[in-house]
Structure 1
């Protein structure tokens, strides 16, 4: 793997860092305070559209999409996107500014890779323009959704329409006032082979029978304005043309969607951890206790050194996974994707925890991003598959590989 980025990517890194310094970091606290306020919940910060217009004008738009789609994507590889996603991870809400926010990124990848021309025209183009937002409805409260074949929501063909019935929760993006379309996963044929029962279908959010029941908080954070919704689908009818790719292809689509999504999360987690390291280093240089500056205590130096080691290890593993995805595809890279999905959230939790400890009371309050970083990292041990599922599959793969070797 070549660790030297091209001039194109170093230029994008420089532009993105400069954009952060000029437009993101000066208003970080203002936007966070707005998003945390109960009275503003499910409202967009008033300056977001202006920020997005500036990002688009700067050429910092749709950086996530690996292959070009018209003139709305620069067509970066996963490896090229990695350092840019890491920069975005430094401020939790910043990805939307560059139209690189989940779940829209995954939904756009699904539509770009699997959508029909009509589906792309109706939904992908406005998503890539940043005109609308979207939701992803997969997880269900009644079943262990870490096994996607458990999903029970029914998708039944009735003439020229599909009828959808089920209950979803942790539906990312479902609370956003600009959310116009949802990708829903459900069963079209419960009698088919296990991995051919599921399908994915496009459901406009204003379709009769789609009812948002409540927002779900994560350790008290609502992640406004996009949020996570519990949604009931009751006799929801959509045209049969809304089915993506075909009946029984949902599991295949899910695997294609979640591979890049998992590595995007890991890239952003490294950004959170890196910023946490920088904040704890600054704090250690400023605070005095028992007659010594924090940085002069051996235990503080060890925690900062350990954090640097762990971040760099996770960063290199993430870049290795991204490189293999680019060269050999998501399926061949599944072991590396599993590794980084296990490693990155746990690494970030360790680093952020040390940063909070060094900050003392300030570290758990609203004046730094650390507390929300910690919550986001903890949630990402579950999102896109819990640690246990990735370790189960990775362990199986490793055993099968080495069991054939006679010692």
Structure 2
């Protein structure tokens, strides 16, 4: 592949911190409040909570810009009544919107990345992310760290970029779906497909966020709970009342069996056998489910740590004494190495040497078009991937059903673009 790379810079600020706003006793009350109000939540009599550990967890708070182009896919359910009015049937209709452009920003109050592997990432994000964090930052010497453990940054800024891209893409998808939904308020579902997506990171603020880490014993298993020291939000596994769930499941099984079996005596016999089986199955499933998820998440964190070990060790990881610096990252554009995708490059080389000019002439040859895909898109056969994308965008803006085009014509354009934009499919098509 040909690779064009741009070097972009962003600022990593001096680390900041946030003070604790609640006490350890308050954190215990928040945990009991969270797990005691669920219908199938934990039995508080069997939930043992250890002494909260006062810790600061590392976060990256990020700000930047988004540029994307997308097509919305809208689904409608259509209820059609027969001509005699006696019958009806449901059908599904899909509508593709025209190509839309999204230029937006992502801010520090929404883009907050946990920069460690020590604790469950999802639970930490649920507990510690908050819109108000970015408005409460203090210089580290102004933060009270008495009796607290400061967890240093485990993820480097290079590793951070991957997580930022996932988070920013999620935000862009939500914004794009909201935009499409505003034009199709009665749609059953709205999804978007990005044709282009880029983001530019401008600033990163390393932040130490206050957290109470609480060890909990429940059903002979140990779990870790997280309470935000800033606003008291609680994160942790979904602990279940296995006894309550088993009883409700058994009663529901018995009632269902009695309703379905005409012979009530036989229904009682079969219902009793079925409810005993479902009682034990649901009991142990509810008891083991949180532990299985805990172990699975733990393995994923260790795998993630191993995969990023080299990048984290070789990259920049802020410390409590770090100063503001400029970091560089690279944004790349690729061209495939097929001859018909290299016209721009071979043409520029041809201006410098006769040999390159002859190779360009030989590469631009007549290409078979058995299904008329090149003709449908108005191509000559030697265009690059980026040129094909540009042509497709122009066609969509002129021929899409939303702007007066026909569905049949747009279907042909989409099929041609699907084949020609993929180098492997295009090569197979040219060899027919």
Structure with the larger helix share:
1
Structure with the larger strand share:
2
Same fold (TM over 0.5): no
TM-score (norm 2): 0.23
Q: Which entry has the higher C-alpha Rg, 1 or 2?
A: 2
TM-score (norm 1): 0.24
